[in-house]
Amino acid sequence: MDINNVMLMQKSGNDMMNSFSDFGIVCTEVPFLPFGEAKDLPSNDWPDEHGEDVYIPNSILLQPFDFDVELACKGDINNDTAAKKMRDFMLYLTTYLSHDGIMVYFPYISDGRVACYKGIDMGDYWQIGNDEFIEFTLKLHVASPDIRVDVNFDDNNNIHGLTKTNM
């Protein structure tokens, strides 16, 4: 499996997980993660003056944001079903969480964020012979848009974990 088609995930104090090798799930569409929109700046709009007085801080603060990831999995209706793979993946995303959320990283865009599960939208389901396929959209929420997730490499230049950095 091409490393670009996966989502790497890591909970605080745990090993990194790979959406494909650990759950049989591939990313079919990953958004470019924006830097984020700015929070509204405090201002006064005096009726007897042109324009407005805006307080410009030393750094612009960012709003939290949501993003969607398109995913798919294939299963065997007689054995390792696509529904079971999806269920195991959802259990990972929604259980044993710390207040930190989950670090997620997308090799395809070389970027990641600390996010939490917000929900899923079911897409298509179909069968061909004994193979079954599910496409779905994972909805994630980023509460701290100023924190970026990056990869750690071992001595052989293999990815072995994720790390958080401030932008």
What domains appear along the chain, each with residue ranges and CATH number?
3-35+60-166 (2.40.30)
pTM for the model: 0.86
| Angstrom distance (rounded) from CA 150 to CA 166 | 10
Question: What is the longest distance spanned by two Cα atoms in the chain?
Answer: 76
The 10s digit of each residue's pLDDT in 111-153 is 999 999 999 998 898 889 999 999 999 999 999 999 999 999 8
The 10s digit of each residue's pLDDT in 8-54 is 999 988 899 999 999 999 999 988 776 778 899 989 998 998 999 99
Query: What one-letter code names the amino acid at 131?
Result: D
SS3 of 167, please? Answer: coil
